[in-house]
């Protein structure tokens, strides 16, 4: 039977078959062709690929990271090798070049792979290296966005969003072609991988994907003008630095004019290096600014728990407890005094989470002045001076800036 023209059939069970095409099956027959390898376009294809890849690495001595299942770690003869998998892209690094070569040879025996050499470009992220450290940016990606949008010759601006701008679903006319706005915002979302300075603006723009209007497009175009100012800006990872973890969390109470929900923002540093950041609208309405701040502390605590576990898997030792900087005194009082039942009974789960991590010596909430709260850049639209000050604290750099 010629199975090349057979129709694909995908079942939810582990066994997958190919049905013969019409005309090849006689009346009453139920013959099928069993697949020995998973094919593209089947639901199980990606899972089977990852399973095959994992089996090969684990058979060689690798183990899964408990916090990131796509990260594989090999420790042998005092050396450590890390393999990171994203779909079919693989990044290999470690402390021994000879052991890395052996891992590459093992992969060639099991898979058809292509060695692209030293990491310079991965998933649209450009990697520049020196003895002082690594620099990650998306310079080409930004230029492509500007060119596709026709904004290569516009006048640049110094902030990603206009001060005190409030976008809603009610104001303005609907766009004739909403797909252009959705495509633009989708590309900007991926840009936040190396651009923490635009996270807050992109978070606001992404809330209007379902029904974009002209004011929303104008705000997106202003963000493009800001990107034209710093297309080569990115994150710098220093080769030598302390491994002290510190975190900053903040919230903007009832920042959404439509739902009255608050916004959580946090950033986490490993020494001077920014390693994690996030802006997210809270799931429920907070009755006070202290409650909104406490929810932000709980979210940051969850991220710190995951990050501490990841650092243990990698083998990096850091001091505990981790300073968690908050600028709301009322939230710190709730944290320190567990008898405020009337105020905190509706956020009891968040309170228990933070207190248990304090008792485990994972975190240590600390008061910080509002003017020094770095997480403000993830929750509020700021003026030019304050934005520049906080952006400098994020330790982002523009490698392509003139010297």
Domains in the chain, ordered, with CATH? Answer: 1-43 (no CATH), 46-117 (no CATH), 137-232 (no CATH), 242-368 (3.30.420.10)
Q: Name the strand (E) or helix (H) holding 183.
A: helix 178-191
So what's the pLDDT on residue 379? 93
What is residue 153's predicted lDDT score, i.e. its pLDDT?
A: 86
Residue 378 φ/ψ region, left for φ over 0, alpha for ψ in the -120 to 50 degree band, beta for the rest: alpha
User: Residue 191: which residues within 8 A CB-CB, separation 6 or more?
Assistant: 138, 141, 142, 145, 198, 202, 227
Report the half-sphere exposure of 171 (CA within 13 A, side-chain side). 10
pLDDT of residue 38: 72
Q: What single string gives the DSSP state of each residue in 198-226?
A: GHHHHHHHGGGSSS-BHHHHHHHHHHHHH
User: Residue 246's closest CA among 212, 224, 265, 274?
Assistant: 274
Residue 282 CB partners (closer than 8 Å, separation 6+): 251, 261, 262, 263, 264, 292, 295, 296
pLDDT at residue number 1: 37
Low-confidence ranges of the chain (pLDDT < 70): 1-21, 25, 30-33, 35, 337-349, 400-403
What is the per-residue pLDDT for 15?
Answer: 53
Q: Give the CA dihedral 120, 121, 127, 130, nearest 10 degrees.
A: 0
- Containing 392, the helix (H) or strand (E) segment is helix 384-393
The residues that bridge with 174 in the sheet, in sequence order, are: 213
Q: Spell out a b/e string for 16-52, using b for 16 or more CB atoms within 10 Å of the CB, else e.
A: bebebeeeeeeeeeeeeeebeebeeebebeeebbeee
Record the pTM.
0.85
């Amino acid at each position: 039977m010629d199975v090349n023209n057979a129709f694909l059939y995908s079942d939810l069970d582990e066994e997958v078959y190919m049905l013969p095409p019409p005309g090849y099956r006689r009346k009453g027959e139920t013959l099928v062709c069993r697949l020995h390898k998973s094919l593209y376009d089947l639901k199980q294809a990606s899972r089977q690929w990852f399973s095959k890849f994992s089996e090969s690495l684990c058979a060689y001595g690798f183990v899964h990271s408990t916090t990131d299942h796509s990260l594989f770690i090999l420790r042998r003869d005092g050396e450590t090798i890390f393999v990171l998998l994203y779909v079919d892209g693989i990044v290999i690094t470690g402390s021994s070049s000879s052991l890395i070569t052996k891992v590459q040879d093992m992969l060639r025996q099991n898979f058809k792979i292509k060695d692209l050499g030293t990491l310079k470009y991965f998933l649209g992220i450009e990697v520049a290296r020196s003895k002082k450290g690594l620099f990650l940016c998306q310079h080409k990606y930004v230029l492509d966005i500007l060119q596709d949008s026709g904004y290569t010759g516009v006048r640049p601006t110094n902030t990603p969003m206009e001060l005190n701008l409030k976008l809603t679903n009610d104001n303005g006319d609907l766009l004739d072609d909403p797909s252009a706005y959705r495509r633009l915002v989708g590309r900007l979302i991926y840009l936040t991988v190396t651009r923490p300075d635009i996270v807050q603006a992109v978070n606001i723009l992404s809330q209007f994907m379902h029904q974009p209007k002209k004011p929303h497009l104008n705000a997106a175009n202003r963000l493009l003008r800001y990107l034209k100012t710093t297309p080569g800006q990115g994150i710098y990872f220093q080769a030598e630095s302390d491994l002290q973890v510190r975190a900053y969390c903040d919230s903007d109470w009832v920042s959404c004019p439509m739902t009255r929900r608050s916004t959580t923002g946090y950033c986490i540093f490993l020494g001077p290096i920014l390693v994690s950041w996030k802006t997210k609208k809270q799931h429920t309405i907070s009755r006070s600014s202290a409650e909104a701040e406490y929810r932000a502390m709980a979210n940051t605590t969850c991220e710190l728990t995951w990050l501490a576990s990841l650092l243990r898997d990698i083998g990096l030792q850091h001091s505990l407890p981790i300073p968690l900087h908050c600028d709301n005194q009322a939230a710190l009082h709730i944290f320190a005094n567990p008898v405020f039942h009337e105020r905190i009974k509706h956020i009891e789960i968040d309170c228990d989470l933070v207190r248990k991590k304090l008792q485990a010596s994972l975190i240590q909430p600390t008061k910080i002045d509002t003017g020094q709260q770095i997480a403000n850049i993830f929750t509020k639209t700021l003026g030019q001076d304050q934005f520049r000050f906080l952006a400098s604290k994020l330790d982002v750099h523009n490698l392509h800036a003139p010297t």
